[in-house]
């Protein structure tokens, strides 16, 4: 794997940390800014909607730029957004800053995954994308737990200052190490938009959205679930987030290898596993060791879908890799917003934190149904190996 993939992974680490660390800091932010837990949860939703809206907009805004220049520009926006988060004086300014940060997210991962896939032979595309997204999962292994611990000790603003520094390092790395391709194909927006006409691409984007909704219905409220139901201390929450991050990383690596062999079977198996494990968590969450084991298994199963979902949409939208790949990240964050809203609604209506995993399981079932419909109507990719 080329060195430039590691730079993309570092960039993904920075972006993933700023997206996910708010979940570990949710109680601290809510307490400091004087809002409720569901109210603080809207910071997750706001970020996700910023990604969903910003993804196609930023993809078109950077359409005339070479891919390296586009990635560098997007990382610059990320740095500015995180600095604003660290300096935010109240809830409204923090929400605005989160949205600004989110604008770069979808386009960066969309364009970055196309660049990553283009750096390796065709039979290693999913593995290359998985390596880039390993930065995203390592953000959960290291970035979120360490960022949560830093925020608990030095105030949540310190975490966003730290992420800003990581963003600057990634920015320099992109300029220094990412190759510039002179023979790069120019983006034809008319052709890219024309590739969105098929039903299959929209079913694929729906799969991604429902997958993310299932993940974030649970993940957004995992800190209060652990604290109030399982009885885990704040330090224990940090260690549990690290355990979840290890599961996410393991699942991402396994998912990349499985998707290179059997794309459809990988996605179907993942959604079944997510539905079952999420449901089990609603019962195991009351005891420490069963809850920890279940959360690790859930995380491993969940992120096994990430590289498969990204390759899936690119397979459908071969004529529009930049836009389709970016829209998939947008769909992921539409699901993020939906999941955070579903989980918050369950809590706000008095059903209790132990009901949140059940809601996540139901969303995974919906993702499974859409997946079965999608691959049933496909003729070009059946449940057979996608590469030799």
User: What dihedral angle (degrees, nearest 10) is formed by the CA atoms of 255, 306, 10, 184?
Assistant: 100
In terms of residues, how long is the chain?
A: 388
160 to 20, 82, 93, 330, 361: CA distances (angstroms): 12, 6, 14, 23, 32
Instruction: Tally Cβ neighbours within 10 Å of residue 188.
Output: 12
Give Cα 355 distance to the centre of its chain. 23
Burial 156-183 (b: 16+ CB within 10 A, else e): bbebbbbbbebbbebbebbeeebeeeee
Check residue 265 and give its pLDDT: 86
Nearest to 222 by CA among 209, 199, 197, 239: 239
Q: How far apart are CA 260 and CA 250, in angstroms?
A: 16
Q: How far apart are CA 48 and CA 354, in angstroms?
A: 24
Q: What is the mean pLDDT of the chain?
A: 82
Answer yes or no: are the C-beta atoms of 272 and 371 closer than 8 Å. no
pLDDT tens for the chain, 388 residues long, are 578 888 888 999 999 898 888 877 888 888 888 888 778 878 887 887 888 788 778 877 777 788 888 899 999 999 999 999 999 888 899 999 998 888 888 788 878 877 887 776 666 766 777 778 778 778 877 888 889 889 988 888 999 999 999 999 999 998 988 877 655 555 556 666 666 676 777 888 899 999 999 998 998 888 888 888 888 888 888 788 888 888 888 888 888 788 777 888 889 999 999 999 999 999 998 889 999 999 999 999 988 888 788 778 777 666 666 677 777 877 887 888 789 889 888 888 888 888 899 999 999 999 999 988 888 766 544 443 344 3
Domain boundaries, the chain: 3-376
Residues 6+ apart with CB under 8 A from 10: 135, 166, 169, 170, 173
Nearest to 306 by CA among 101, 123, 140, 144: 140
The sign of the dihedral angle between the CA atoms of 51, 55, 57, 63 is: positive
Check residue 386 and give its pLDDT: 41
Q: How far apart are CA 64 and CA 61, in angstroms?
A: 8
Check residue 385 and give its pLDDT: 39
Query: How is residue 214 written in tokens?
Result: 């299932």
Q: How far apart are CA 39 and CA 102, in angstroms?
A: 19
- Within a 13 Å sphere around the CA of 289, how many CA atoms are in the beta-carbon half? 0
Q: What is the DSSP letter of 185?
A: P
Q: How far apart are CA 208 and CA 137, in angstroms?
A: 17
Answer yes or no: are the C-beta atoms of 12 and 139 closer than 8 Å. yes
3-state class of 262 per DSSP? strand
Check residue 107 and give its pLDDT: 81
Q: Which fold has domain 3-376?
A: Growth Hormone; Chain: A; (1.20.1250)
Answer yes or no: are the C-beta atoms of 21 and 147 closer than 8 Å. yes
Answer yes or no: are the C-beta atoms of 303 and 248 closer than 8 Å. yes
Q: How far apart are CA 255 and CA 126, in angstroms?
A: 9
DSSP output for 321-338: HHHHHHHHHHHHHHHHHH
DSSP output for 211-251: HHHHHHHHHTTHHHHIIIII---HHHHHHHHHHHHHHHHHH
262 forms bridges with which residues in the sheet?
385
Q: How far apart are CA 88 and CA 80, in angstroms?
A: 12
Answer yes or no: are the C-beta atoms of 240 and 224 closer than 8 Å. no
Answer yes or no: are the C-beta atoms of 247 and 295 closer than 8 Å. yes
The sign of the dihedral angle between the CA atoms of 64, 54, 98, 106 is: negative
Check residue 194 and give its pLDDT: 65
């Amino acid at each position: 794997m080329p060195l430039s993939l590691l730079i993309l992974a570092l960039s993904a680490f920075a972006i993933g940390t700023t997206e996910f660390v708010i979940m570990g800091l949710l109680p601290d932010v809510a307490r400091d800014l004087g809002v409720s837990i569901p109210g603080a949860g809207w910071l997750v939703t706001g970020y996700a909607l910023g990604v969903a809206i910003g993804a196609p907009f930023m993809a078109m805004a950077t359409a005339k730029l070479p891919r390296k220049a586009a990635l560098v520009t997007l990382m610059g926006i990320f740095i500015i957004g995180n600095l604003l988060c660290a300096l935010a004086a109240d809830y409204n300014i923090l929400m605005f800053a989160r949205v600004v940060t989110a604008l770069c997210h979808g386009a960066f991962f969309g364009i970055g995954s196309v660049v990553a896939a283009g750096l390796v032979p065709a039979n290693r595309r999913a593995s290359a994308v998985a390596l880039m997204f390993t930065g995203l999962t390592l953000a959960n292994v290291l970035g979120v737990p360490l960022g949560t611990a830093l925020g608990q000790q030095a105030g949540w603003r310190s975490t966003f200052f730290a992420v800003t520094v990581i963003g600057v390092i990634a920015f320099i790395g992109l300029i220094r190490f990412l190759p510039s391709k002179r023979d790069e194909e120019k983006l034809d927006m008319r052709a890219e938009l024309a590739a969105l006409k098929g039903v299959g691409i929209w079913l694929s984007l729906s799969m991604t959205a429902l997958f993310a909704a299932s993940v974030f219905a649970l993940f957004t409220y995992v800190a209060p679930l652990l604290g109030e139901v399982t009885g885990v201390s704040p330090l224990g929450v940090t260690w549990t987030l690290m355990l979840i991050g290890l599961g996410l990383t393991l699942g991402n690596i396994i998912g990349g290898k499985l998707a290179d062999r059997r794309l459809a079977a990988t996605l179907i198996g993942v959604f079944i596993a997510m539905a079952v494990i999420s449901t089990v968590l609603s019962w195991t969450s009351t005891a420490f060791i069963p809850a920890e084991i279940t959360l690790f298994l859930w995380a491993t199963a969940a992120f096994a879908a990430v590289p498969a979902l990204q390759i899936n949409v690119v397979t459908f939208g071969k004529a529009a890799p930049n836009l389709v790949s970016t829209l998939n990240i947008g769909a992921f964050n539409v699901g993020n917003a939906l999941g955070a809203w579903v989980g918050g609604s369950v809590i706000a209506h008095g059903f209790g934190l132990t009901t949140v995993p059940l809601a996540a399981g139901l969303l995974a079932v919906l993702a499974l149904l859409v997946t079965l419909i999608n691959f049933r109507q496909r003729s070009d990719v059946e449940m057979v190996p996608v590469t030799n």
